[in-house]
Each structure stands twice: as structure tokens, then as C-alpha cells.
Amino acid sequence: MQVIQQQFQVAFSYPVVFTRNVFDPANPVLADLLAAGEPGIRRALVVIDSEVVRLNPGLLAQISLYGEAHRARMVFAAPPFQVRGGEICKHEPSEVAEIHALVERHKICRHSFIIAIGGGAVLDAVGYAAATAHRGVRLVRLPTTVLAQNDAGIGVKNGVNAFGRKNFLGTFAPPFAVINDAVFLGSLPLRDRRAGVAEAIKVALIRDREFFDYLYDERARLASFSPDVMERMIFRCAELHMQHIGGGGDPFESGSSRPLDFGHWVAHKLEELSASELKHGEAVAIGIALDSLYSRRQGLLGEIELRRIMNLLETVGFALNHPALSWLDVEKALSEFREHLGGKLSIPLLAGIGTKVEAHEIDIALMKQCVGALFERASARTDVARASLESGARRVA
């Protein structure tokens, strides 16, 4: 037998830039990034979330004006191509196919760019299209939601759904750059602003107790989406995610341990069971609550710590229950998550706020009890709220 063993390393580097009004002609950030390091005029194809267009009247005109102002260094190869926002763009393959066709039609090459503007689902789908066209077109992400700016838009994963499974098809492909424009957040519906907070709570719980304490202390302002608190939250959450990707030793998840997926084994299943009626962040909040309860009942997490976690989630406004929970087959969901990881189950649990441990076995009966406890908690809160309303009505009468 003869063997030639090949081994090589590839270094990846990309910036996450925080700015405002990215398409103001006076803001050079995007043009500077595209033109950096190479001579010639850079060509780019803009793909944008249709919901972002709806929420930001005049944005398409701004993009056109930006291209005109910086045409000495960059050119938009076509008018912005709109894709449907939300999970629909990941469920159906038509958007990815149309982006591939635009890449071919407008001669977008590996030294050109695709600029993806939108929420996490759109960034996932456009990123997958970019990674598979010419085996990789340079991707610049402009996340427009809280969840995308602090989590989904800054990592190295892209994907679409298939066979009824979330992110069944996908790639690990680092972006060329990420630009977080805080101005986009001001146009978001309140539900979308809230959903993104879940990922910040998650990463604080598993990596940074001081950050969790800050979120807890500022929970009332976080619930009212105070701009300074939101921007600090997004920056620190993004920073912690970047530290994990760069320093965690497994950026492309070749192993079974995925510590940033705390609460996600059930979150992904709830999204599927609810036909995406639950937003990702809302499902993650339920997953955080469930796995925190399980951590407590396993003796890993203190009672006061559990109360603080639940209080923070509920104060921010998350409903920690949903009808999809009643349809959850815990054993099947864990088995599918094990398959997704690569055969070995590895579930992050909490050994205190800011500290995680990996569990390779889950007590199915105990986890089902925790699901029941969430239902009971939600029912109790509903009863209290109803009693409060009735009491108020009697006083008015």
C-alpha cells in the first residue's frame, strides 16, 4: 500500500464593522471594503430582503445613489434583486436558483461580490448561493435585524432547508466582511427586536457572567429596546461569537460539541413543528428556559440562578411556552439533533451562569417533566394576569 498524506492550513480573516447609514454617499465603509487591496473597479450584485425594502422606503434609491457616488472604485452590476424575507426563502429553492442565474448573467466572478442585505434567513440563503456559485463568490453581509447583527450574520455558516429539516443543505464559508448598520434596527417591528435578544442571553449564559449581569440589571430598558442598551448588547454578543469562532478550535464544527447551540436542540424542532410561526429567537428563548430547567433538576444550576434566567426572559417579553411544545417528541428531537451533530450527542447545559458543560446523555423522562413544568409556569402566569385584570375591572366598576 502506498499513501501520500496531504496536509495544509488556510487562514481566514474578515472584519465586522459597526457603522450608521451605510448607503449615505458620504460613508465610505462599503466602498473601502470592496476596493481594499486590489486594483481596478470592483463589481457587486446586491441581493436584498423584500421586507427590508418595505420597512425602509427610499432604500433602493439610496443604494443606486451610493453606486453612482463611488463608481470610480465599485459598480453595482444590476439593480438590487429582492428575495422574500423570513424562512420562506430557505424553504423553497427558487431564490437560490435565481441568484445563481444572476451571477451567470451579469458575469459575477470569484473576484466580484455578492452583497446580502437582510435578516438571518435571507443571509443564510444568499450566503449559500454565493458559496456554491463558482465554488465561492465573495460575500459581504449587511444584517438588518438584531438576531442577524449579533449572531446569524457574523458567523461562517450558510444554509437552506430541505426534506423538512432546518439547514439540511449548507456550507461553512466565511464572509469577506460584515457591516452592522444600527439604523436598520429602528425600522424593525417590536417582535423582531425582541427575538434577537435571546441569542445575547444565550451567549452570556454560557460564556460571560458579567455580560449576563449587565443584561439582567438593564432588563427593563432592554424590554423597551433602549438604543444604547441594544447597541451595547449587540456589540458584546457579536464579540463573544467572534471569539468563539476564532478561538474555540472548531470553527467549521467538525466535532460533535457545539457550545453556542445552548437551547437549540429544541428550538430548531419547535420552528419546524410550528411551521416557522415561531421566530428563531422566540424558539431559542423557550429552549434556553427548558435547558435551564433541566440543568437545575440535574443539580448543576442553583435555584436563584434559574429564577434570574426566567425573570430576564419573561421581563424582556418572551412567552416561554407554545402549542408546538405539546407536539414535541423529545426522544426523536434529540435523535435528529445527534444526527445533525455527526452521530454523538452533545448538549450544552449550565453549571452556573457563565459556565457550560457538555452532556452526552439526556434523561428523557426528566426532560419531559421540564416540558410539563414550562406549561405549568405559563398557565400560572396566565392565571395571575387574568386575576389582575379582573381586579382592575372591579375597581373601575
Decide which of 296 and 241 is more confident. Answer: 296
Q: What is the mean pLDDT of residues 202-220?
A: 96
Whole-prediction pTM:
0.87
**Span of 30-39, 42-51, 344-353 with lowest mean pLDDT:** 30-39
CA–CA separation, 254 vs 256, rounded Å?
7
Task: Identify the CA nearest to 202 among candidates 152, 273, 255, 159.
Answer: 152
- Which CATH superfamily groups domain 190-245+254-385? Dehydroquinate synthase-like - alpha domain (1.20.1090.10)
Top-confidence range, 156-170, 311-325, 377-391: 311-325
Q: pLDDT class for 108, splitting at 50, 70, 90? A: very high
Q: Is the pLDDT of residue 366 over 80?
A: yes
Distance (Å, whole) CA 243 – CA 3? 37
358: alpha, beta or left? (left if phi > 0; alpha if psi -120 to 50): beta
Backbone angles phi, psi at 329, to 5 degrees: -95, 100
Annotated domain spans of the chain: 16-187, 190-245+254-385
- Length of the chain (residues): 397
Beta-bridge partner residues of 81:
47
DSSP letter assigned to residue 295: H
371 Cβ contact list (under 8 Å, min separation 6): 290, 325, 328, 330
Q: What is the mean pLDDT of the chain?
A: 91
1-19 mean pLDDT? 93
Q: Which candidate, 115, 111, 110, places its Cα nearest to that of 38?
A: 111
CATH number of 16-187: 3.40.50.1970
